[in-house]
């Protein structure tokens, strides 16, 4: 596609539910990133993939957060047993290579009630 | 790890005036400094970036300066227009090192008054 696509755009989950957020990066982009953006704050790094390899997951806040990119293209961020503090916009970004310009998707706004 | 501070948090200017946003970073290994513009309900969009072997870069009304010794970089927007109103984020990354992630500042809400 023309840009990074994320789905769904909006997700409301009841506390304790599991959610899965999808990211379709720009075709051919090797690097893929997930960021979390709380209201009024800058994006905070969650995890990074180079092709299918998850090279950095230092930003994942707890073991309830899990990300995968099994074929080196589409990625899914899964949050288990959601809590209210998980409410945020989850942004996905991709870049052609290492150190290249990162293109962001529009994000998924997760609200946990 | 890297820490990026950004000032001011809000900035209001008259149309046609210039706007300057400043950022400082802590990790001397950082070598890539992008600026992103984020409009309401959208993802961040890259507007300009600079690498640490360059001191200044300009693209039409937008310029970025980098002082690696002092560890600070700035965004300059000249002849501001109402469509420049948005939240602007600076970021820093130590590309080529052990990690490939961007560390963002806290953002500046720019309002251009017509």
SS3 B54: coil
Tokens 């990162």, residue?
A102
Contact A106 B104 (CB under 8 A): no
Residue-wise pLDDT for A86-99, tens only, equals: 999 999 999 988 77
pLDDT of residue B54: 80
pLDDT of residue A2: 79
Q: What is the mean pLDDT of residues B24-52?
A: 93
| CA A59 – CA B99 distance, rounded (Å) | 12
The model's confidence at residue B101, banded by pLDDT at 50, 70 and 90, is confident
Candidates B102, B106, B107, B108: best to mutate against A (most CBs of A within 10 A) is B102
Residue B35 contacts residue B64 (beta carbons within 8 Å)? yes
* Partner residue facing B100 (CB), from A4, A43, A98: A98
Please answer whether residues B72 and B24 qualify as being in contact, where contact means their C-beta atoms are separated by less than 8 angstroms.
Answer: yes
- Calculate the dihedral angle through the C-alpha atoms of A56, A36, B73, B68, rounding to the nearest 10 degrees: -20
Q: What is the pLDDT of residue A37?
A: 97
B8 prior amide bond cis, ω within 30? yes
Token couple for B50? 């600079």
Q: Which of A72, A26, A29, A77 is nearest to A53 (CA)?
A: A72
Q: Tell me what the mean pLDDT of segment B30-41 comes to.
A: 94
Task: Say if the Cβ atoms of A102 and B101 lie within 8 Å.
Answer: no
What the block records as the tokens of B111 is 């309002």
Enumerate the residues of chain B whose CB falls inside 8 A of the CB of residue A45: 101-103
Q: Is B43 within 8 Å of A42 when comparing Cβ atoms? A: no
A73: which DSSP letter?
S
What pLDDT, on the 0 to 100 scale, is given for residue B58? 96
Asked if B46's CB is within 8 angstroms of A103's CB, the reply is yes
Q: Which of A20-24, B59-63, B93-97 is predicted with the least confidence, judged by mean pLDDT?
A: B93-97
**Looking at beta carbons, which residues of chain B come within 8 Å of A42?**
6, 89, 91, 104-107
- Percent of chain A scored above 90 by pLDDT? 91
Question: Residue B46 in contact with residue B107, Cβ under 8 Å?
Answer: no
CB contact under 8 A, A42 and B46: no
pLDDT band at B99 (very low <50, low <70, confident <90, very high): low
């Amino acid at each position: 596609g023309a840009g990074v696509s994320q789905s769904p755009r909006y997700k409301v989950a009841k506390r304790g539910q599991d959610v899965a957020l999808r990211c379709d990066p720009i075709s051919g982009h090797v690097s893929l990133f997930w960021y979390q953006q709380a209201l009024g704050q800058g994006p905070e790094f969650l995890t990074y993939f180079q092709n299918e390899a998850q090279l950095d997951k230092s930003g994942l806040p707890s073991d309830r957060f899990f990300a995968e990119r099994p074929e080196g293209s589409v990625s899914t961020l899964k949050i288990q047993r959601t809590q209210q503090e998980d409410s945020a916009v989850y942004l996905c970004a991709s870049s052609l290579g290492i150190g290249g310009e990162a293109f962001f998707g529009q994000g998924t706004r997760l609200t946990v009630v | 790890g890297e820490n990026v501070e950004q000032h001011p948090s809000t900035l209001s200017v008259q149309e046609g005036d210039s706007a300057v946003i400043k950022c400082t970073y802590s990790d001397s290994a950082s070598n890539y400094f992008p600026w992103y513009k984020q409009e309401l309900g959208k993802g961040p969009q890259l507007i300009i970036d600079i690498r640490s072997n360059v001191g200044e870069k300009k693209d039409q009304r937008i310029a970025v300066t980098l002082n690696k010794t002092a560890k600070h970089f700035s965004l300059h927007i000249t002849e501001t227009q109402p469509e420049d109103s948005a939240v602007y984020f600076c970021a820093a990354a130590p590309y080529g090192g052990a990690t490939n992630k961007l560390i963002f500042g806290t953002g500046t809400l720019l309002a251009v008054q017509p």
